[in-house]
Chains A and B, each alone.
Chain A
């Protein structure tokens, strides 16, 4: 059974890369590369299973033999994917639930592509910042400590009073507004509306503060929940490593091509939910496309009814979407920005679909973690 599955996967992997390889080499035409597609395809197949020894151009990739040092970075995109930060809770006298977090802004050098260092500004030492998750109607308190050498804020997308907007110049006398190095402030507001939002720094120059890495996803679950699913967060971002106002590296969750090297393992016929946020700076649009499949699209996640059944969506800066899908077949399926430039500069990954019972224990645990407020909502 397991053998058959492997060969089937290898076959699917190879099949998936043949069109890409043939397409590229087909363009070469009379360039003397007849016979190349077959070699490229077999290499492509090999790459699907471990991604060692790249020596042809089956798809864009980094140089072989070196990967990003996640330990030095202090975060791993594979872990960020399913890492929801629920903070701590306590019951207020009024009976309402108060959910609290402490977020620290820190300057930190991170590796965004193998061997390429970037002087990032981070929330809690990671890019993207922690995925803050709450439930509709709760009271939220986010204590923000600025340990960076630069002034910062946390500006949440949501509904809140002006003082809590994380906006320089507003509420400076009350200690809000721009938070200088060494200072702190507690943002307090209600979790509304439900949906998928984001937070980011709003200090000028705005593009710099965002491009340096100060952003994260903010999920507000609806009271009645969403159908149980293997949930994951993808914050689409990019890095302007040479500071020329355009990005050299593109990714979902910071490290280019990370999910090519470590495909996201999901179960066949299991519901997969992607919380997709566009935090990309300098490029007006970003997009998401999944191969060989379609998804239900919930723009901003503010409705429980999908708006569209599609395989490609476009997001402007700050836009976000919840995507629900199931993979009916085993194999490796690419996902990437359908802006080819971004895809080939790092914003590409793979889903590896297999029998749910064969998923590793850790992946299974991550995939089926229960929400703290009791289950992942009512079944579909």
Chain B
């Protein structure tokens, strides 16, 4: 580098850093001048101001409906009046009635809503424009107190930690069976993860549809996926460089850890969905749902232990390491449930679902070699059967937990 810098010097007479900074300064000055002069030559805008407002959050308390609005549009928007189901209702605005570009405000509307009914909240702006927010089924939003966080933690443990732990009980089985079985199990894991990735991507895109477009919307899912994939790949390269990954970078415990991490990131998104669904009253917490999630996530436990076979000390981890793997895969569901219930934000949720997708994609790439047959082929009868079984297993258990 230094040599290169010295080589450049005689030609330009300026240090390399200055050559990098000068264009930046000129760009800044040009933009500043353009802004100060009010965009010379562009004239006034044509047409009336654009009002684009998203409803980010709806909270129901007895006698009150709270709406958090975000101004996605280029012009500021002033909230003038609010009607609930075709009746004007008194309200206060926490962040003021005027919402600047990208600003937000929370309206507290006095209205005697009734549990189980549906409501259409119509916000009238100063220009007479309207912003509509639908409340399909009214239910009180749980207060975010200690009890509530405890409940969300319990929920996360029920649907995340315990089932994954139960799934890991297959470890002795995995150790005993022959190599053909292991190939099938790895293929099963790949199929299962592939389906999880598709599911998470679709859910992320679904949520992104409700997110303010200005923050990226669906692009956040892809950005999250790409970033997670690249980060996990970089971590992999770094660990291999240190030689921790064992021979060939695919020791059993290492692969198991990767699978656990990918599943953990996915469970973060799953927890988020559960938490927000519960907070908005869209989720009835019943034994059926919890049992469904348990069965569903048990298969994830099996996916974690599948790589841990064969000899070597690293393939015989102690109970502590197994517990660590289980927590890595399951505990993020608790975190997700907290975030989802307390501060659900569709943009954040879309990003986190994307992260889950990217992590799973990276894990698939990482463990795919272990389902090769003797001739080095990825696709052979055993692996195909295994992958299909994984997809079917996740699909069928997923039927139990459709929110």
Beyond A27-B112, A113-B80, A114-B80, whether A241 also contacts B128 by CB under 8 A is yes
The chain B residue sitting closest to A56, CB to CB, is: B110
User: Do the beta carbons of B82 and A63 come within 8 Å of each other?
Assistant: yes
Contact A57 B112 (CB under 8 A): yes
Q: State how many angstroms separate the Cβ of A296 from the closest Cβ of chain B.
A: 31
Check A31 against B110 for contact (C-beta < 8 Å).
no
- A102-145 CB contacts (< 8 Å) to partner B: 112-118
For B110, what are the chain A residues with a Cβ–Cβ distance below 8 Å? 54-57
Docked pose: A117 CA to B80 CA in angstroms: 9
B90 part of interface (Cβ distance < 8 Å): yes
Residues of B within 8 A of A28 (CB): 112, 114
Q: Are B80 and A115 in contact (CB under 8 A)?
A: yes
Q: Known: A114-B80, A116-B80. Contact between A60 and B127, CB under 8 A? A: no
Kindly list chain A residues whose C-beta atoms are within 8 Å of the C-beta of B127. Answer: 117, 241
| Cβ-defined contact, A61 with B90, below 8 A | yes
Given A116-B128, A117-B128, is A57 in contact with B88 using a C-beta cutoff of 8 Å? no
Q: B90: which A residues are within 8 A, CB to CB?
A: 54-57, 61-64
Distance, CA A61 to CA B78, complexed state (A)? 19
Q: Mark A236-278, 1 if CB is under 8 A from B, else 0.
A: 0001011010001000000011000000000000000000000
Q: Is the CB of A344 within 8 A of B128?
A: no
* A242 contacts B128, C-beta separation under 8 Å: yes
Contacts A55-B90, A116-B124 given; does A36 touch B63 at CB 8 Å: yes
A140 to chain B, nearest CB (A): 36
Task: Count contacts on B: residues with CB < 8 A to the other chain.
Answer: 28
Instruction: Tell yes or no: B250 within 8 A of A by CB.
Output: no
Assess whether B130 is interfacial by the CB under 8 Å rule: yes
CA distance A28 to B124 in the complex (A): 26
- Tell me whether A241 and B129 are in contact (CB under 8 A): yes
CB contacts (< 8 Å) of A344 on chain B: these are: 83, 86-88
What's the nearest-Cβ distance from chain A to residue B64, in Å?
Answer: 10
Asked whether, in the complex, the Cβ of B129 is within 8 Å of the Cβ of A60, the reply is no
Asked if B88 contacts A27 (CB within 8 A), the reply is no
A24 within 8 A of B: yes
Docked pose: A239 CA to B128 CA in angstroms: 9
B-chain residues with CB within 8 Å of residue A244 when the two chains form the complex: 130
Size bracket of the A interface: 35 or more
List, in ascending order, chain B residues with CB within 8 A of A27's CB.
Answer: 112, 114
Residues of A within 8 A of B396 (CB): none
A69-116 contacts to B, CB under 8 A, are 112-116
Q: With the chains together, A242 CA to B130 CA distance in Å?
A: 6
Which residues of chain B in 123-159 are interfacial with respect to chain A, using CB atoms and an 8 Å cutoff?
Answer: 124-130
The answer to whether the Cβ of B378 comes within 8 Å of any Cβ in the partner chain is no
Rounded to whole Å, the gap between the CB of B216 and the closest CB of chain A is 28
Chain A residues, CB < 8 A from B126: 115-117
Question: Would you call B88 and A257 a contact (CB within 8 A)?
Answer: yes
Question: For residues 1 through 56 of chain A, which have their beta carbon under 8 Å from a beta carbon of chain B?
Answer: 24-25, 27-29, 31-33, 36, 54-56
Residues 130-169 of chain A, each 1 if its beta carbon lies under 8 Å from chain B, else 0: 0000000000000000000000000000000000000000
In the complex, which residues of chain B have a beta carbon less than 8 angstroms from the beta carbon of A64?
90
Q: Which of B239-286 contact A (CB under 8 A)?
A: none
- B interface residues, Cβ below 8 angstroms from A: 62-63, 78, 80-83, 86-92, 97, 110-112, 114-115, 122, 124-130
* A residues in contact (CB < 8 Å) with B: 24-25, 27-29, 31-33, 36, 54-57, 60-64, 112-118, 239, 241-242, 244, 248, 256-257, 341, 344-346
7 tightest A-B CB contacts, nearest first = A241-B128, A115-B80, A344-B87, A60-B87, A54-B90, A116-B80, A341-B86
Q: Can you spell out 18 A-B residue pairs with CB atoms less than 8 angstroms apart?
A: A29-B114, A31-B114, A32-B62, A57-B111, A60-B89, A63-B81, A64-B90, A112-B128, A113-B88, A114-B81, A116-B125, A116-B126, A116-B128, A117-B128, A244-B130, A248-B128, A256-B88, A345-B88
